[in-house]
Structure 1
């Protein structure tokens, strides 16, 4: 039953679009926050190119770090259109800002509650235009935040955001939001994508160092594997069962590191996670982690040291290891294939708690077994 559930989760995650440097928008809805309707369109760490300190006219031509809009359209329903066909003021605004400029977004009149959309009171003060997103120019990053508008002309059902490329001239974490201030557009539909690119490729800033890390780890595991297999073959007649288990862990580690490296390399080239490679990288890593935990446990029980078998404890060890594998596999698949930010806090804890509890069970059982094994060895030593 648990295996079937794991298969369902894996297939669902492989079929759904995951967060990546190519953000696709389809079937997403705007959330009502205060007096605005907001859709979070992406958040990535972007590195400015070393030659990005150029004039505004030349920046678009030379910048290697960029955000690009690609065929983004907004569609309102016919019912909405009938209710607002006399006006052409309906619009969707796209706000892009660096995280340090977040305080530049929104405002309030007379020290009241902060609003995202300009209110009538703020409009009377001349601070903004009613119905528009409130923002103030950044003092640190000139020209930011950036605001773009897609307007519904008259009775049109579709508003299009023109394709454009936004060069990134300052390293930071950039956020994009689609915002509208018109309650009549509550059922608005969006379709299209944005492309976020760093100078070295499509890997988000937080992931960019991981490609080199897993490359080095792959090389380290290859060196370890060559040395281990050389010693293994040289003394194969005296090899213990536990050493076969260690060989398995090293082999799994080699595959895991290599798969993660290829996963990040592919991600960096295309901007979309190769879900098949990611799935197998997660699975090899989970099997390796489970095997390592079980090996430490059975060694602490004295297997191969003071006893040749585990006796009646074998089934319990297998059950704990299997449950730990399933819980860890599901958590890692959701974290790496799905969009974790889509999960509520309770749902996130629902996945983390089982892994933490099972991990603690392993640790407690290891220490208890180790204490018993040391006690047995001390008795044997006292008798001799």
Structure 2
């Protein structure tokens, strides 16, 4: 049951494995359409210090290996030579033209013109009639017919290359025609393809573009993520070594919650190692490793989903006051599965674009991403509400027990404090993330993109460390977040009802008829919930 969704995710996410060398294989550029790709670029004098020492001290976008060909439609050009092609301009046998624009993202507003509430990007009949071509003059509009509209503030900073596309063969951009754009100012840059000439019809793009920073191929917005994931991977390895070593020494006293914590640690190690390998190879070769991209994303989302389940199980008192969870565990796993699906789809949309973005249609994808963020927030809210509700019941149960455990109550209260700190910080950072990724702020502060995700990773690590410290097993059979069945037997021998099974207290196996103490504990807990 687990292998199937992971395999499906691998198929769906494999296409994200692109890189700073972007390949094009018959990419369709329809008439009157604009497609663009963006990436953060450092100027040589602004590059990170570590990169400037080891890099080539140059930054450029190479467009030389691009070839545009017309997709000849059979409806326009029938197999019978004597047949007369239709009068559609797209069926014209005249040579066409295509524009390639290189600009900073802050200058994107210079592409197109707004007239009477309508945004025009190509100078066609409608744009000319609205006065959106050539500044509104008739002569300039006639000269600009079938071209990309560039006007307003920042228009002078937009480098536009126009290529003729002959009817019978393709057109290729060469170095002499401006195929290499040197980056002298740090910023988020865009390469835009515009098919505005009505005689072009549908064009096919082949070749590749190269985006090279002073330190390598890694886009500027991801540079600082590479050392971050390397450091995080080392921390996970150290934590795993300590946790697994302690677990081996106390393997007789482990319960199911310890196994959940072990699984989350393992997922964290694999995720951070895969992401560091992805960024490192991307920076060196310009191409992303499809396996590292896919498994880093899948293991990362799975880690976050299971982390939520681990916190929820701990809040329910699994292994401390409740030996089994029954239907509650199934509901928790269903909620985690919902979170997993939403996050996989959301990260697929937010990952580095594997395709060009339609200037006029980008709002649709933004709406989908916003919807997924809303669904993810609702699932998180359900986790938080369920977690604190469970904690309140556990604390109430501990206070009303015939045998109060003040040390256990104190630890649960500390756990509540950990969750409150994490919850407040999560809320504050979520607001910052929304502000950072919306509007024009991302265009100006794109170097902080990596930090939005990085701080979430640190928060997950903080909660995991806190749970592991509270859950840590001990040589005497107790855990600092549980109670020792042996100790309870010694202190309360007169109150025990029959033989006591230590494994049962920690959720190690299912209840049996002889486990009367565990049954009494669970029954008392459930009666307390029903009484509410």
TM-score by length of 1: 0.79
Larger radius of gyration: 2
Q: Which residue of the partner structure matches residue 119 of structure 1?
A: 133
**Rounded Cα–Cα distance in structure 2 between residues aligned with 1:262 and 1:127:** 52
Q: How does 1:246-265 map to 2 (within 5 A)?
A: 246-265=261-280
Q: How does 1:256-335 map to 2 (within 5 A)?
A: 256-333=271-348, 335=350
Question: Is residue 38 of structure 1 aligned with residue 33 of structure 2?
Answer: yes
Question: Is residue 171 of structure 1 aligned with residue 183 of structure 2?
Answer: no
Q: How does 1:154-165 map to 2 (within 5 A)?
A: 155-163=167-175, 164-165=179-180
Question: How has the CA–CA distance of structure 1 residues 353 and 377 changed in structure 2, closer, same or farther, with 3 Å as cutoff?
Answer: same
Q: Which residue of the partner structure matches residue 10 of structure 1?
A: 10
Q: Is the 8 A contact 1:6 1:330 kept in 2?
A: no
Question: How has the CA–CA distance of structure 1 residues 362 and 186 changed in structure 2, closer, same or farther, with 3 Å as cutoff?
Answer: same
Question: How has the CA–CA distance of structure 1 residues 178 and 302 changed in structure 2, closer, same or farther, with 3 Å as cutoff?
Answer: same
Q: Is the 8 A contact 1:74 1:158 kept in 2?
A: yes
Q: Which residue of the partner structure matches residue 58 of structure 1?
A: none
**Rounded Cα–Cα distance in structure 1 between residues aligned with 2:220 and 2:120:** 31
**Rounded Cα–Cα distance in structure 1 between residues aligned with 2:259 and 2:325:** 17
Which segment drifts farther, 334-343 or 365-374? 334-343
Runs of 5+ unmatched residues, structure 1? 53-61
User: What are the superposed Cα offsets for residues 323-368 of structure 1, whole Å, 9 maximum, x if unpaired?
Assistant: 4334434444554487496773454356445433332222222122
**Rounded Cα–Cα distance in structure 1 between residues aligned with 2:115 and 2:328:** 69
**Pick aligned residue for 2:382 from 361, 364, 384:** 361
Q: Is the 8 A contact 1:249 1:291 kept in 2?
A: yes
Question: Is residue 147 of structure 1 aligned with residue 146 of structure 2?
Answer: no
Q: Is the 8 A contact 1:275 1:337 kept in 2?
A: no
User: What are the superposed Cα offsets for residues 201-222 of structure 1, whole Å, 9 maximum, x if unpaired?
Assistant: 1111111111011011112222
Q: Is the 8 A contact 2:17 2:354 kept in 1?
A: yes
Q: Which residue of the partner structure matches residue 199 of structure 1?
A: 214
TM-score by length of 2: 0.59
**Rounded Cα–Cα distance in structure 2 between residues aligned with 1:249 and 1:323:** 18
User: What are the superposed Cα offsets for residues 246-303 of structure 1, whole Å, 9 maximum, x if unpaired?
Assistant: 2332222122111111111112122222121111112222232222211211221111
Secondary structure of the 2:27 match is coil
**Rounded Cα–Cα distance in structure 2 between residues aligned with 1:266 and 1:20:** 10
Question: How has the CA–CA distance of structure 1 residues 198 and 84 changed in structure 2, closer, same or farther, with 3 Å as cutoff?
Answer: same
- The alpha carbon displacement at 1:159 in A equals 1.9
User: What are the superposed Cα offsets for residues 167-223 of structure 1, whole Å, 9 maximum, x if unpaired?
Assistant: 111111111111233223232222222111111111111111110110111122223
Secondary structure of the 1:344 match is helix
**Rounded Cα–Cα distance in structure 2 between residues aligned with 1:65 and 1:283:** 33
Question: How has the CA–CA distance of structure 1 residues 190 and 242 changed in structure 2, closer, same or farther, with 3 Å as cutoff?
Answer: same
- The alpha carbon displacement at 1:29 in A equals 3.7
**Pick aligned residue for 1:50 from 45, 49, 59:** 45
Runs of 5+ unmatched residues, structure 2? 48-55, 78-84, 86-90, 124-131, 406-532
**Rounded Cα–Cα distance in structure 2 between residues aligned with 1:51 and 1:371:** 52
Q: Which residue of the partner structure matches residue 59 of structure 1?
A: none
Q: Is the 8 A contact 2:9 2:294 kept in 1?
A: no
Q: How does 1:77-96 map to 2 (within 5 A)?
A: 77-78=71-72, 83-85=91-93, 87-88=94-95, 90-96=96-102
Question: How has the CA–CA distance of structure 1 residues 78 and 172 changed in structure 2, closer, same or farther, with 3 Å as cutoff?
Answer: same
**How many pairs were matched up?**
365
Q: Is the 8 A contact 1:38 1:177 kept in 2?
A: no
RMSD, matched Cα: 3.7
Secondary structure of the 1:192 match is strand
**Pick aligned residue for 1:71 from 34, 47, 65:** 65
Q: Is the 8 A contact 2:229 2:276 kept in 1?
A: yes
Q: Is the 8 A contact 1:242 1:295 kept in 2?
A: yes
Question: How has the CA–CA distance of structure 1 residues 63 and 91 changed in structure 2, closer, same or farther, with 3 Å as cutoff?
Answer: farther
Question: How has the CA–CA distance of structure 1 residues 329 and 136 changed in structure 2, closer, same or farther, with 3 Å as cutoff?
Answer: closer
**Rounded Cα–Cα distance in structure 1 between residues aligned with 2:267 and 2:218:** 25
